[in-house]
Structure 1
Amino acid sequence: MLSILIPIYNYDCRSLVKDLHKQCTISDIPFEIRLIDDCSDHFQKENQSLSTLQFVHFTALSANIGRSAIRNQLAQEAKYEYLLFIDCDAGICNNYIAKYLPFLPSDKIICGGLLYDIKDYTPEKSLRFQYGHKREEKSAQTRNKAPYQAFTSFNMLIPKKIFLAIKFDESITKYGHEDTLLGIMLEKEKKEILHINNPLYHKGIENNIIFLQKTQQSIISLKELYERAEYPSQLSNKIKILSFYKKTKPLHIPISFLFTSIRPLIEKYLITNKKPSLIVFDFYKLGYLCTSMQNSK
């Protein structure tokens, strides 16, 4: 029936796995929970203790293989015909597993969505929380209006046969846009995505400094994907910052100049403000993309 797949990197997921195990047991379905640790520096011993639970399998890798490869490995090792991908920094709601069961069996990809808990807000994490709350929290009704654009593997139920025929692109070695490319491939293969209201809480909120660093890495990944020229129109349709980049082509040089001039001020604002403007954050991303593109010419 169900293989729950959780890639782990430097996060204590004991509470998540125990809650999932309890819900699966109550649901009385054939299940397994597969955990692979991607050569973490922290919490490996704590997470390894989860292997004492029935139907839980834990593997620790001796070298880091990256976000795409570890998810592909989890799917290859999965026992059952339906795969439920969950990020290790998630928190589950009551009846989370039970809400997925009416959709099985199915040839659709089911995405449950995500939420942010105000209890997890701190001033040091204000940018990530603000972005998640305002941009990532969306109802199923809203997500179903553009199902491929709203796709994320953070909370995804997918038939194993469909996933193994497509898989994550392991050529993406930097952080960011693994989901974007998988969503493009699912759309290309005409695989139906259905969004439902069965969210996970995103608990592992980075502080503002780390989130900015990850944003930079994500933009570099986007730049490299765009320069590969395999899916230029699909990328532009799915990623608003890239769409805006293309629309502002005559302004790229002045945008880069302005961004370079005021970048320290913007970064200080985004890092220290308790409720930073996402419009300022959007300009930061556009400026970083324009500058990165100019530097590679």
Structure 2
Amino acid sequence: MTAIVQNPIGETLTDNVAWAAFDKKGAKPRLSVLIPTFRDDPGALLKALDEPGVHAEIVLLDDGGGDEALARRMATRIERLKLPARLITLSSNEGRAKGRNRLARHARGRHLLFLDSDMLPDPIGFLARWTALAESDDTAVAFGGFTLDQTPRRPEHELHRAMALKSDCTPAPERARAPEKHVFTSNLLVRRDVFETIGFDEGFAGWGWEDVEWAMRVARLYPIAHIDNSATHLGLDTAPALAAKYEQSAANFARVVKSHFDVVSGYPSYRVAKALKPLPLRASWRPMLKSLALAEAAPTPLRAFAMRLYRAALYSDAV
């Protein structure tokens, strides 16, 4: 039977039987899998995570999506999971940083595994590998990487695919060269005491940079490991959606520059933005870069180059 609790702050909790059984025993899982979602159906991910014999729990956050039919489907899936599971449904959206901090407060495990709702584990025994790493080395922070191995190819996503393959889908040794730069909450293991010491900065709004900024603060105190225990990113964006995210992220980039200039000034995104800043008539040529990036008839490599320049041009206001 599902237990449903309504809290006065607009937070509804739905627990499955296994979650309640853990509470009665006074036991704690070794790993808490934390999944925020906003109008995305995490059904495939939940099914893939329900591995037998793994000492883990799942906490899912519906961050004010407002889709009642989807919320009912998520509650039903939570009920059917063998692993202990909780669904948190918010009455209004609170954003990426606040949502993940909220998820951590509900978790009971010593280690937290942040996963995005549009991810899908690549290797068999994905959770078992994370649990083993947490137990054997008591790892402070580790990123497992992500791929596009299981992502369907669609014409409208080719630009995002090309850009992700070039900059994001990288093996562990390459990521380890700049460990804080290649940290994303799409597949991130964090020990509880680390997260209680350093949570996500809730001053970030919209999309972008809150996970990398968090890693910059963490890296000053704890080692960040990079391993190959990847998950596929299924939720590629169309070119207009990707451009809109970059436009949202400009203010967040400015926040990172202000707080972590010593780190971010070495990033290519900063150096290109700095090079573009002196150029005159940005208001004229910046839209032209965007138009080229959105032109589906243009070659994908050229569109990707234009989109990267457009992002740097947006960021040039902050350098």
TM-score by length of structure 2 reads: 0.82
Query: d(CA) in 1 for partners of 2:148 and 2:286?
Result: 32
RMSD, aligned α-carbons: 2.1
2:180 equivalent to 1:148: yes
* Matched AA of 1:177: W
Q: How does 1:201-280 map to 2 (within 5 A)?
A: 201-226=232-257, 229-237=258-266, 239-246=267-274, 248=275, 252-254=278-280, 256=282, 259-260=285-286, 262-263=288-289, 265-269=291-295, 271-273=296-298, 275-277=300-302, 278-280=304-306
Q: How many equivalent pairs are there?
A: 282
Q: Amino acid of the residue matched to residue 156 of structure 2?
A: E
Q: Does 1:90 align with 2:90?
A: no
Deviation, 1:91, is 0.7
Decide which of 104, 112, 117 is 1:75's aligned counterpart: 104
The match for 1:132 is: 164
Asked if structure 2 preserves the Cα contact closer than 8 Å seen for 1:34 and 1:57, the reply is yes
SS in 1 for 2:211: helix
Greater relative contact order structure (CA < 8 Å, 6+ sep) = 1
Counterparts in 2 of 1:149-168, with a 5 A limit?
A: 149-168=181-200
Structure-2 separation of matches of 1:188 and 1:293 = 24
Alpha-carbon distance in 2 for matches of 1:261, 1:101: 47
- Measured at CA, do residues 73 and 133 of structure 1 come closer, stay the same or move farther in structure 2, by a change above 3 Å? same
1:272 shift after superposition: 4.9
Match of 2:205 in 1: 173
Report the alpha carbon displacement of residue 257 of structure 1 after superposing the two structures with TM. Answer: 5.1
Alpha-carbon distance in 2 for matches of 1:5, 1:72:
10
After TM superposition, the structure 1 stretch with the greater mean CA deviation from structure 2, 102-111 or 11-20, is: 102-111
Q: Which moved more, 1:115-124 or 1:142-151?
A: 115-124
* Contact in 2 for aligned 1:124/1:272 (Cα 8 Å): no
Of 43, 50, 53, the match for 2:77: 50
1:150 CA displacement? 1.5
Moved >3 Å (runs of 4+):
271-274
Whole-angstrom distance in 1 between the partners of 2:189 and 2:115: 9
Q: Is the CA contact 1:83–1:158 (under 8 Å) kept in the aligned structure 2?
A: yes
Letter in 1 for 2:288: I
Compute the displacement of 1:89 (Å).
0.3
Alpha-carbon displacement from aligned partner over 1:132-158 (angstroms, at most 9, x marks no partner): 112111011111122122222210111
Between the two proteins, what is the percent identity of the paired residues? 23
Q: Give, as a single letter, the amino acid of the residue that structure 1 aligns with 2:88.
A: T
Aligned to 1:153, the other structure's residue is in SS state coil
The answer (yes or no) to whether the contact 1:111–1:155 under 8 Å persists in 2 is yes
Bigger shift: residues 75-84 or 260-269: 260-269
TM-score by length of 1: 0.87
